[in-house]
A and B are shown apart, each in its own frame.
Chain A
């Protein structure tokens, strides 16, 4: 009888490296070979890896900026609506709404929503949280949060060829290459 593994769909190749320099150079080779659906998994962010992978600037800043701007204006609008429009509160002969007295609250709202925008934007761009990932089933991959480094090339990359991809990772100096199933 066939084993269950025969019916499984491959997720991709997982290649293990022992030092940050090795994985950085391996990433450069994979980038130059023209792969697009691949990733590097590391215990901490490696300096220079974004360039080695050919990644541009992160777009999280837009989420922060727009959320922060929204926070500032919603803070101002809230105070104007509450103290000047909906129910005017004359206190001490001061104007019912003044941008100066409203500034501290609007400022805090900018930071509050900006912070939610940063964290939320990061999670959104990373497609997190996710409850399942093929790599997290692999017990060897558990070392990724300890002291090992991995290059993973996905099977649905247009350039993916089982022999060729394995050869590339071997040439890059991986100490252990494994086919991970979906």
Chain B
């Protein structure tokens, strides 16, 4: 019994860390730029497919190729920002959020179709030679790949946290998120800050995509599912909180793992119901301040 509980927790944390990672990028762009990109999951999907290609075509290990994918997704993010979101930057906040949601919705329509042309509609998994390995630890089976993924996630989130808190550019990002007009008057290049922030968000989504491909599977339509998960986590955590998003992700992962025992196929709806309830009664999130 205790073993079952412990195993459920371990599984939940593995999945939850992924939820957190998928949500961090969304939370960052929403918090800093007031851009709600519902196409966020599509970048995750692209990252997963790129890692799949790297392993299948060139035999590059997904963990070793991670920096390459980060670079590629960062570039993709910057291009997407310039093409689709830059024109919204100067709109008043409410209009900006609404239009960015619609543009993101457009990306969500376009990306799966491109992916279907490039990679067909099949579900793909990234399977290096060591995938599927696991070891026992205190009576619980720990799978190696998710453990490595958890390590990558924690490192990445810590790095992002330090980047935002300790560097000069991080200060610019935080300043811009609080008041972009004041930031501009202080000599911060708001446009460049926005662009790079968006790039960082998509790069993190790409890493999440690699881990999703390693531990689950990637298909052209996987984006929507992950966008919804990320949205649930962002709303749980309160908008714009990086650390909060990670912990909220863990909570959702464990909740779903426990829920799966009792609710079976309805578990997916569990997170969505929590989302609606929080939206109704505590729109600032569980960890956010009123």
Asked if A and B bind, the verdict is no
Residues of B whose CB lies within 8 Å of any CB of A are: none
Residues of A whose CB lies within 8 Å of any CB of B are: none
